[in-house]
Chains A and B, each alone.
Chain A
Amino acid sequence: MTTNKLTVSHAPFWHDGDSLFQMNLNILLALLPAAIFGIIQFGAPALGVVALSISTAMLWELIMNLMSKKPLTVGDLDSAVIGMIFGIMLPATAPFWLVVVGTFVAVVIGKMIFGGIGANPFNPALIGMSFLMLSWRVMFDFDAAYVNYDFGFTALAPLAALKFQGAAAVADLFPTGDLIMGKQVGAIGSTFGLGIILGGIYLILRGYIRWEISISFILGIIVTAFCFNMANPQVYGGPVIHLFSGYTLLGAFFLATENSSSPVNIIPMFIYGFSAAAMIILMRNIGVYEDGTVLAILLLNLVSPLVDNIRPKALGKAGNNA
């Protein structure tokens, strides 16, 4: 009994059992309904894109780990989440080099060079996505991407149609039920609204994403789109089409809520979510892009540290904070 070495460490001696691996595993799980639906809808090419995206994202992190002689961090699945989100934001017809370049930018430039997990000022998947969108914009023309597909529904990308034809012209083309149930043209994982919402609600209930951001984001879309729609119903679409098309729902539950690039205090979370959503509608209605989700969230990532200064005063602290 005398020679036994005891474990000595600092309090607390309990932990709630959560870990990064658990968190990321749950996020992957929550993304599955949307991803699987996309794969069924768009076939084997979609599976190829998602699989390649996840695997290359993890591979880039592994290479960076080895190159920088740091402990291997691939096992925490953070890159897998980036790869998954990135993959399902691509059209199913994306060529392999686009995926590889995109995950390189996402993982290496978006995350690893800032110091890895937790240090990225922007959502890595969005960094990769915005890089591709600016470099090869034609690849993200969903109407052109699916020209060889034969769908049983309106084979028009809703947001592009909305932008170039006006709300009045597309009013009957996209019934809300179709949009929610995935009968629309779009990226692999962005079409099945119901699946994304279920995944998002699961994550909120499990406490892995911050509900304040998602709720205020959706509220921001509804309020801003409603205002535009009221001002000119002929040109600007209503809240429903904005909410259930493009990357909006992915943005609400998976993109804007990325831990490291979003605020953590209550009021800032509401400001952040609402402004990101308002920015999206502004970009869609006034800007040149059909879907401004990627750039709008990146823009608010930039503002996040600033708004996060609005925080309650700590116990016994006099004077001003921040």
Chain B
Amino acid sequence: MIKRSFFSLNQPRLFYDLVEPDLKEPESIPLPASLSVLLSEEIDSTKQALIKKGDAVKKGEKLRLYDDSTAYTTSPVAGTINLFDTYSDDFGKIATFIVIKPDPNPSEADTIKLDTIEDIGFADQFLRKLPGSPPFEVLANDRIKISTIVITCADTDLLSTTNQFVGLMYTDEIKAGAKILKAMTRIPKICITIPEALRTRVNFDSIQVIETGNSYPSTLPAMIMKDHLNIVLPAGQTPEDKGVCFIRAEALVSLARVYKTKESVFDKILTLIGKDGTRHRVRATIGTPLSKIFSRFNIHVNEQDRIIIGGPMRGFATFTVHHPVLADMDTVIIQDRDIIPQLSDYPCINCGNCIRICPVNIPVNLLVRYLEANQYEEAADRFDLESCIECGLCAYVCTARIPLYQYIRLGKHELLTLRADA
């Protein structure tokens, strides 16, 4: 954890980590005894589900809950469905998790072969759940006009180096994937972000390269758009609304592999950061419980430790060591309970630290007073709630230790609910 320096006339600057100079192949995690995959649809007990306990599934088979479902997931192994139940995330969004028991001796016939065509509709139909979580749903949507695709080889959160690793290690596959993506979407402008310091170590041929700075939060989507694409993201809009779509480098690697092997791929690369800060580069099948990865490296998770998925500034904490590896999971951090910072329920003391550090000039000191009082509309209209790019720096420097980022995310969430109800 980076602490406040003794002299802090200026606000602290946090820097992104760079990938190690000598890249090694990631460590493969053997297939566990059971895997779980997430499906972003709620179980509706009034309807007859398409899947049930004991069903045999093939590797790469699409799993849907109901006939009219648009959400789907794909089975990462051949095996049988052991269980499916409700899962709710940290904002109470309900999804379904499906536990699959792999078949110990899968045969060739248990793998579904894909008849790959370079069409975005096809990709949306079959490839949404590729490692790297490609946004095919957005790209295939006719109502969203995307004019620029940005491939991210620069990690958005601190400590994380997975995207950089993929960018350097699998450059050729990224180039191949970009070609396929270009043919699919017919979007002429494809750029790739890479940390400035790594620019000389990699060659992306014809893809336009965006060199990103090393200080947080310069690689967040809104900052990339502002600094490099000259598009100011209007308050309350997503990059997609302005025609910019961000895609992980790993998604392109997966895409290239799918078109090469004609079958779906499920190996996700992630970085595990232990309590002592050591990094382990891991290749695990999507759906592998994190506990399997921890035991592979003899990492012991104790009572009241924290497992952070994503980075220290923007990630989320899971409540179980059995949380599965997901398609968009880049980094897993284990934080010892002794270094978990305490929060408080103090009011804002108006010290101004958040104002100094906010990269988008939000009056956080005033905003938080409205958020504490549940005045979400007022917060959005007068105090720029929706301009927030969710970097978490305000909460990082807050002297009163108010969970500011939590208030802001909750405020945005409630605001959307309010507007949907109105």
Contacts and interface: CB of A to CB of B under 8 A. Distances in A.
Given A9-B306, A16-B3, A259-B351, A317 B321 contact: no
A137 interface: no
B90 A10 contact: yes
B312 A260 contact: no
B389 A315 contact: yes
Interface size class for chain B?
35 or more
Contact of B346 (A5, A16, A117, A264): A117
Contact of A118 (B226, B319, B350, B359): B350
Contacts of B397: 16, 18
Contacts of A117: 346-347, 349
A140 B1 CA distance: 50
Interface in B1-44: 1-4, 6-12
Interface in B294-340: 300-308, 310, 312-322, 333, 335, 337, 340
A31 B177 CA distance: 64
A6 B317 contact: yes
A1 B406 contact: no
A97 interface: no
A211 B234 CA distance: 33
Interface stretch (B125-133, B245-253, B360-368): B360-368
B68 to A, nearest CB: 34
B405 A5 contact: no
Nearest to A322: B382
B387 interface: yes
Given A7-B306, A14-B313, A19 B399 contact: yes
* 10 tightest A-B CB contacts, nearest first: A264-B352, A315-B360, A15-B341, A314-B384, A207-B8, A12-B392, A10-B406, A314-B387, A118-B349, A16-B4
Interface of A: 1-2, 4-20, 23, 76, 115-119, 204-207, 210-211, 259-260, 262, 264-265, 311-318, 321-322
B343 A312 contact: no
Interface of chain A, main secondary structure: loop
A5 B321 CA distance: 9
B92 to A, nearest CB: 13
B403 interface: yes
A16 B317 contact: no
Contacts of A118: 346-350, 400
B401 A7 contact: no
Contacts of B207: none
Given A16-B2, A23-B399, A8 B382 contact: no
Nearest to A23: B399
A5 B303 contact: yes
Given A1-B301, A11-B392, A259-B350, A206 B7 contact: yes
Contacts of B11: 207
B399 A12 contact: no
A12 B351 contact: no
A18 B3 CA distance: 8
Contacts of A115: 347
Interface of B: 1-4, 6-12, 90, 158, 222, 226, 232-237, 291, 300-308, 310, 312-322, 333, 335, 337, 340-341, 343, 346-353, 355, 359-363, 365, 382, 384, 387, 389, 392-393, 395-401, 403, 405-406, 409
Contact of B312 (A8, A11, A206, A312): A11
B4 A317 contact: no
Contact of A17 (B4, B234, B236, B343): B4
A311 B360 CA distance: 12
A11 B315 contact: yes
Interface of chain B, main secondary structure: loop
A16 B362 contact: no
Contact of A315 (B12, B302, B387, B405): B387
A205 B4 CA distance: 12
B316 A11 contact: yes
B304 A5 contact: yes
Given A10-B403, A13-B335, A316 B233 contact: yes
A260 B347 CA distance: 11
A315 B222 contact: yes
Given A6-B317, A10-B409, A13-B317, 9 more contacts: A6-B306, A9-B343, A9-B403, A12-B314, A13-B335, A13-B340, A14-B1, A16-B12, A314-B384
Contact of B304 (A1, A7, A204, A315): A7
A309 to B, nearest CB: 9
A20 B320 contact: no
B414 to A, nearest CB: 15
Contacts of A314: 235, 360-363, 384, 387
Contacts of A211: 9
A289 B378 CA distance: 43
A313 B341 CA distance: 32
Contacts of B318: 6, 8
Contacts of B317: 6-11, 13
Given A6-B306, A6-B317, A7-B305, A15 B347 contact: no
Contacts of A16: 2-4, 12, 396-397
A6 B319 contact: yes
12 contacts: A4-B321, A6-B306, A6-B307, A8-B90, A10-B405, A11-B406, A13-B313, A118-B347, A206-B6, A259-B350, A314-B387, A315-B387
A5 B318 CA distance: 10
Contacts of B401: 15, 19-20
Given A13-B317, A265-B355, A20 B306 contact: no
B335 to A, nearest CB: 6
Contacts of A8: 90, 306, 317-319
B350 A264 contact: yes
B303 to A, nearest CB: 5
Nearest to B3: A17
B153 to A, nearest CB: 23
Which among A1, A207, A313 has the highest number of chain B CB atoms within 10 Å?
A207
Nearest to B308: A13
Contacts of A311: 361, 363
Nearest to B295: A1
Contacts of A313: 361
Nearest to A260: B350
